[in-house]
Structures are given as C-alpha cells and as structure tokens.
Amino acid sequence: MVIDYEGCFRQAGLIDVQTVIPEVVVDLKYATTDNFMGKVLYLGLKKAYLLPHMAERLKRVQARLEDLKPGHKLVIYDAARPLSIQREMFDRVKGTPQEQYVANPYIEGNEGGFHNYGMAVDLSILDADNKPLDMGTPFDFFGEEAHTTNDKLLLESGRIGEMAYRNRQFLYAVMQEQELYPLPNEWWHYQHFMEEPDKKKFKILDF
Amino acid sequence: MLLERYRYSLFIIAIALLAGVIGFIFNVWETHEGFLYDLLTTIISTAIAFFVFTLTYESVTRKTSTQSMVDEMRGLFEEQRRLVRNEFRDEVDDSIVKSLGAELDIIQKYSSNEVFDVVNNCSARLLGHGLAENMQNVLASILNNPSYRASMRYNIDIYPNDTERFEACTDAKFYISQTLEYKKYLRKVDGDDNKLDDNNLKLSCFFAFNKNPFLQKEQEEIFFLREELSSHSFIKSLNKENAIRLFDYWVQFFYEGDWVDLADIDSVEKQPSVEFVRQTCGGKYAGIKFVSNIPKQVLIEDGEYIYFRARIKCSYPTSRREFYFKVPELTLQANVSIELNSTNDSLHLVSFTDNYHIQLDKKSDSRESYNFCCNSKDSILLPNNGFTAVW
C-alpha cells in the first residue's frame, strides 16, 4: 500500500518548503537509490516538508545566501521523515558501526529523531551553476570526515581540503545566524531545537 | 454410542454366556432330572440372564444418552441466551441513549457504572473494539479525575525585551505577559457532601527552572498555571522577597459578580506565599511556586462539584523563541490567544492535537496573533491537548 505521505505531513501541520522558498532545490535522496540504503524509500514523495518555523528560518537563510553569494541556493536532501521509514533505515544498520548515525525508532516514549517530527533538515549549497559546493564528504557519509566538531583538525590532517573547510564554515555561519545548528557528526543536518525533550512539544510523524 | 450400535449383538452374546454359565453350574452339581427339567432350567436361566442384562443395559444407556442430551441442550441454550442477551443489551443501550438525549434528568436513574456500560457498548458498535477500548481508557482517566476546567480565557502576549523592566536579563530577547482565567471544578470528597479536600483549597502556580517541564515531583500536582523559565539571569535574580514584584504576579477571584483581589476578600492572606521547590533527587531548585488560599466565599456548589473562578496575571523574560501550551486536565470551552508584537519575526503555531480550530489574525505588520479556539458548547480539550508556538 502506498501511503499518501504529503497528505499525512499536511495533516500534522507541516508545510511544503517550496511554497515558502520557491528558489530552493529539493533533491530528496531517499526518494532515489542514491543513498546509503541503495533503494528508494520515499515512494511517491518528492517534496520537502517541515514545521513552519523551520521553513521560515530557511527562507531567511536563502535570502542571506542571495545577498552574500548571488546565484547560490540551498539544496535539501532530506526533511520530514515518516517513522515507518526510520524503522526501515534503523533495521538496516542495527548492530553495525553505522547504528550511531541513525536514530532509534523503537525507544518507547522517545521514538525516532528530529526528522521524525519535521524539526530537522539535511541540506547543502548549490553554486550559480547548480553544482553542490565541496563540503569534504558526500551527503550521508558515515565517518569522522563528516563530523562538525573539529573541522580545523580535519583540515590540518588533510582529511578535508581547504575549499571544503571554508565552505563548511560558510554554511555553519549562514545557518547559525537563523539559530539553526548542525549535529556533531553530520555537516548536512540542521535543527533549531537541540534537546531531546523538545521533541515532545511536537507531533511524531507516525505513519 | 458404542453400546447403542452393538446392543443386539451384545444382548445375544450375553444371553449365550449366561446360559452357558448356568448350564455349567447345573452340570457341576450333576442333577440330571430328564428333558423337562433341562428345558425348565434353560428357560429359567435364560430369563434370569435376560432380566439381569436388560436391567444393566438400560441403566447404562439411559444414563449416557441423558447426559449427552443435557450437554447438547445446555450448549444451545447458552448460545441462545448469549444472542438474546446481546440483542437485549443493544436495545437497552439504544433506549437509554434516546432517553438520555430526550431528558437529562433521566441519567440520574442510572448508576455511573451503567452509564459507562452504555457508552462502552455504543462506542464499540460505532468505532470497533480497538478504537473503542482506547476511547474508554481516555474516558476512564477523565471520569476518575477529581477536577476539570471550564470557560478558559488565556491571552499570551510576546514582546521584544527592549524595555527597562527586564533589561538586566541580557540572555532574554523577549518577554511574555499573560492572563489566564477559568472556572475550576472540584469534585466533593466522598461521603461528605459539602467539603473539599483541604489541599484543593489552594491556588498554586509553578514556574520551572529546568528546561525539562516534566519533572517527576511536580508532574503529580495540577497547578492553576505552570510555565517554564529559560532566562538564567532572571532565575538568578529571584528571591522570596522580590519574586511577586518581578513576575508582576497577581490573583483575582470572581466574587459576587465581579473580579476582586484576594486581599479584598481575605483579610488574613493578602499576598500569595512564595516557595522555592527543590528537585526530588539532588539539592538543586526545580522552580518557584506561588500559593494563594482560596477564600470559602468564592466557592459555588454545582451538583457533585464545587467550583471557583479565578484569574492570574504574570510576566517573565524568555531566552527561547517558543511557547508551549498543554492542558493537564479536561477543559470545556477554551479560547486561547497568542500574539507576537515584533516587526522582525513571524509567529508559527502547530497544534499537537487534531481538529481544533486555529486561526491566524494578522492585525498589522508588527502584530501577529493566533486564536486557538474550542468555543462551541460541547467542545472539549482533552488532557495533553494544546499547541507549540515558535517565532
């Protein structure tokens, strides 16, 4: 059975990001086979949905990008994610070193991660030629090179290049201006609320 | 069944065996008295064998068949009784529901268990057993609750923190000013028609210091208002003497048709008491509590409940760009309004419950307001219903 994800998202109070920011590019990796699972997970979902406050903040980030680097735009790789997809992803990595990168959807009372509430977004920046800026690793790279806690060390040890280092610093800066913060182990993942109890203030996308 | 199927074969075999046994006995005694004697003894032994067998056989078969018939009848009877009972119960439910709908006084004729049975049966028929069970659990939690709220009016105003009032709180970009009023219904104590539990005759408001608003100790108590403080500099500045002034906290009760300050009703308790609450584990403070007595004059009897109507007002700075509203108990007819007074920010409101009317009212470029309404006569907010506003 194909779930009407978009209908369910709207019912939960989420909005289609492109209705707020028409210029943003949406390239949902889990709607393609270009992801760590190697399979299409979002059957019938091509749009990025988020809680309104996240979409509003991204709108300001996009406006700031236009000011600082005309022609550059945000590209969204993932946004709101249904809990059923989260289960499928977790089952795949359970018991492997990658388990730390996927939120556990089975913890009773604290199911899933911020994506499962529409509170988190995975993104990067496209240049004026619509090419993604070099961030040192691809999206969904499971390894220290993707961590955000010590970019300087990664640069000095040659694990990421100078350009990647500068691009990351730029991305952090424009996002943090709007109070959007990255996770320690994923340069592409941003959210406004950072603490676990904050999830309880929104509705889990349990479908 | 086995005996029945082979009854005649068994009968013949039994006669032959008995005749043989009796004949053998006579032979052993060697009492040959001629043909007539032999014939007579054969007839007598046959008759005795027949008589003995018939008695035994009838006794056994009658008992077995009677037993199986009784079991079969009992099964049928039970099935009929079940069907009749179900049908009867459905009919009774319908008639009760119609009666209740026609005249509310009729409800008094039924015990709460009977009424609950009706609701259970009706919901099971309408929703199916799975959903009905969930609904019944919700209803049970409401019915077991000793209190509820009604006619709630809640106004929340968010302002940029650019006034003198909280200028010392440098970690707070906004401050929140709010007014909350509702009728609080308290169930009378069992066995005493006119009294309330003394613990209920306090009006308490709690402001948690921790970001986690679900501290175990305070979770058990239902406050008139409960909020979360996020500005560390504001928390640090609080003490027992200045707290009421810093919060600009006041309480009013509805008394004889008007809103009256507590001090004008109760000459003894002019000000709420202030209490710093420690966490259950560890010595850290979990929050600050304001407690006022509820004057007996403001209590109004209403059936098995007593209610009072109160209003509180307070202000405090916040370092977070969110406001979280959740009712901890059943609330009838609520109208919540949240307004952001800022030109640089947008207010977003997400309900974490379904089907409540939320209306954005953009009053001007600098004022955005949401109304979270639940106004119709029968509409209710269930425990844990509410919204999160982010700006």
CB-nearest to A195 from B211, B348, B352 is B211
The whole-number pLDDT of residue B288 equals 94
String of DSSP letters for B323-340: EEEE-SS-EEEEEEEEEE
Residue B64 predicted with pLDDT over 60: no
Q: Do B321 and A193 touch (CB under 8 A)?
A: no
Q: A184 and chain B: CB distance < 8 Å anywhere?
A: no
Instruction: Convert the pLDDT of each residue in B305-360 to its tens digit.
Output: 899 999 999 999 999 999 999 888 888 888 889 999 988 888 888 887 765 566 66
Give B83-109 pLDDT, tens digit per residue.
Answer: 666 665 655 555 666 665 556 667 677
Number of helices and strands in chain A (H, E): 6, 7
Angstrom distance (rounded) from CA B240 to CA B273: 9
Residue A133 pLDDT level (bands cut at 50, 70, 90)? very high
Identify any residues that bridge with B305 across adjacent strands, giving them in sequence order: B187, B302
Q: Is A154 a residue whose pLDDT tops 70?
A: yes
pLDDT band at A55 (very low <50, low <70, confident <90, very high): very high
Question: Angle at the Cα of B336 (from B334 to B341), degrees rounded to 5?
Answer: 170
Grade residue A125 by pLDDT with cuts at 50, 70 and 90.
very high
Show me where the domains of chain A are located.
5-201
Closest residue of chain A to B320, computed from CA coordinates: A193
Q: Do B214 and A200 touch (CB under 8 A)?
A: yes
Gap between the Cα atoms of B219 and B203, Å rounded: 16
- pLDDT at residue number B147: 87
Q: Rounded distance, CA B50 to CA B14, Å?
A: 8
Q: For residue B211, which residues of chain A lie inside 8 Å, CB to CB?
A: 195, 197
User: Which residue carries 């943090």 as its tokens?
Assistant: A176
β pairing state of B225-228 and B202-208:
parallel
pLDDT value of position B12: 72
Among the listed ranges A8-12, A26-30, A180-184, B8-12, which one has the minimum average pLDDT value?
Answer: B8-12
Which pLDDT score, from 0 to 100, does residue B156 have?
Answer: 96
Pick B182 or B375 by higher pLDDT: B182
A13 to B212: CB separation less than 8 angstroms, yes or no: no
CB A106 within 8 Å of CB A94: no
pLDDT of residue A109: 77
DSSP secondary-structure letter at A193?
-
Q: Tokens 């707020």 label which residue?
A: A20
Q: Which chain B residues are closer than 8 Å to A51 by Cβ?
A: 348, 350, 390
What pLDDT sits at residue B195?
59
Q: Is B384 left (phi over 0), alpha (psi -120 to 50) or beta?
A: left
Look at residue B357 in the predicted model and tell me its pLDDT: 62
Residues in chain A with CB shorter than 8 Å from the CB of B388 are 201-202
Answer whether B211 touches A (CB < 8 Å). yes
Q: Are A105 and A97 in contact (CB under 8 A)?
A: no
Q: Please judge whether A197 and B350 are an interchain contact, meaning their C-beta atoms are less than 8 angstroms apart.
A: no
Phi-psi map region of B331: left, alpha, beta (phi>0 left; psi -120 to 50 alpha): beta
Q: What would the CATH number be for the domain defined by B145-390?
A: 2.60.40
What does the alpha-carbon distance between residue B181 and residue B224 come to, in Å, rounded to a whole number?
Answer: 9
pLDDT in tens, B125-135: 777 777 777 77
User: Is the Cβ pair B348, A202 closer than 8 Å?
Assistant: no
- Residue A21, pLDDT > 60, answer yes
Across the interface, whether the CB atoms of B388 and A179 are under 8 A apart is answered no
Token pair, residue B143, equals 């019915």
Helix (H/G/I), strand (E/B), else coil: B320: coil
B171 touches chain A (CB under 8 A): no
pLDDT of B363 strictly over 70? no
**pLDDT reading at B149 higher than 90:** yes
On the question of pLDDT at A129 being above 80, the answer is yes
What is the DSSP secondary structure assignment for residue B164, as one 8-state letter?
Answer: S
Residue B159 near residue B177 (C-beta atoms within 8 A): yes
pLDDT band, residue B120 (cuts 50/70/90) = confident
Q: Does residue A129 belong to the interface with chain B, where contact is any CB pair within 8 Å? A: no
- Measured between beta carbons, the chain A residues lying within 8 angstroms of B351 are 13
Instruction: Assign residue A5 a region (left: φ > 0; alpha: ψ between -120 and 50; beta: otherwise).
Output: alpha
Tell me which residue in A56, A192, A201 faces B324 most closely, judged by beta carbons. Answer: A201
The partner residue sitting opposite A56, judged by closest CB among B324, B348, B354, is B348
**Spatial distance between the Cα atoms of A203 and B3, rounded to a whole number of angstroms:** 71
Please give the pLDDT value at position A61: 98
Domain A5-201 has CATH 3.30.1380.10: yes
Contacts of A56 in chain B (CB under 8 A): 346, 348
Which residues of chain B have a CB within 8 Å of the CB of A53? Answer: 321, 348, 390-391
Contact A183, A97 (CB under 8 A): no
Report, as an integer, the average pLDDT of A44-71: 96
Lowest mean pLDDT among A11-25, B50-64, B307-321: B50-64
Q: Do A53 and B348 touch (CB under 8 A)?
A: yes
**Rounded Cα distance, A141 and A34, in Å:** 12
Q: What is the pLDDT of residue B13?
A: 78
pLDDT of residue B238: 94
Any B CB within 8 A of A115 CB: no
Residue A11 with chain B: CB contacts under 8 Å: 354
Give the model's confidence band at B41: pLDDT under 50 very low, under 70 low, under 90 confident, else very high. Answer: confident
Distance from the Cα of A11 to chain B's closest Cα (Å) equals: 8
Q: Is there a contact between B322 and A13 if contact means CB atoms under 8 Å apart?
A: no
Choose among B200, B225, B202: nearest CA to B288: B225
Phi, psi of A106 (to 5 degrees): -105, 5
Please name which of A95, A118, A91 lies closest in space to residue A105, comparing C-alpha atoms.
A91
Rounded CA gap, B207 and B217, in Å? Answer: 13
Parallel, antiparallel, or unpaired: how do β-strands B285-293 and B273-278 relate? antiparallel
Q: Report pLDDT for A63.
A: 97
Angstrom distance (rounded) from CA A23 to CA A41: 25
Whether the CB of A52 is below 8 Å from some CB of chain B: the reply is yes
Residue B21 confidence class, pLDDT cut points 50, 70, 90: confident
CA pair distance A25, A47, nearest whole angstrom: 10
What pLDDT, on a 0 to 100 scale, did the predictor assign at position B345? 85
Which residues of chain A lie closer than 8 angstroms to B213, CB-CB? 197
Q: Please check whether residue A200 touches B, CB under 8 A.
A: yes
What average pLDDT does range A21-32 have in this prediction? 97
Model confidence band, residue B142 (pLDDT cutoffs 50, 70, 90): low
pLDDT mean over B278-307:
85
More confident residue, B82 or B98: B82
pLDDT, tens digit, 9 for 90 and up, residues B228-258: 899 999 999 999 999 999 999 999 999 999 9
Residue A206 pLDDT > 70: yes
Please tell me the distance in Å from B351's CA to the nearest CA on chain A: 7
Give the residue from chain A lying closest to B386, CA to CA. A201
Residue type at B62 in one-letter notation: R
Bridge partners for A26 per DSSP? A76
Provide mean pLDDT across the span A136-163. 95
The distance from CA B15 to its chain's CA centroid, rounded to whole angstroms, is: 74
Per-residue pLDDT, averaged over B18-40, amounts to 67
- Using a CB–CB cutoff of 8 Å, tell me whether B213 touches chain A: yes
Residues of A in contact with B348 (CB under 8 A): 51-53, 56
Cβ-based contacts of B355 with chain A (< 8 Å): none
- List the single best residue of B352, B356, B358, B387 to mutate versus A (max A Cβ within 10 A): B352
Dihedral, CA of residue A148, residue A152, residue A154 and residue A160, to nearest 10: 90
- pLDDT given for residue A69 in this prediction: 97
Residue B29: what pLDDT?
A: 59
What average pLDDT score do residues B144-159 get?
90
Is residue A127 less than 8 Å (CB to CB) from chain B? Answer: no
A98 contacts A142 by C-beta, under 8 angstroms: yes
* Average confidence score pLDDT of chain B: 78
pLDDT band at A106 (very low <50, low <70, confident <90, very high): very high
pLDDT the model gives residue B161: 95
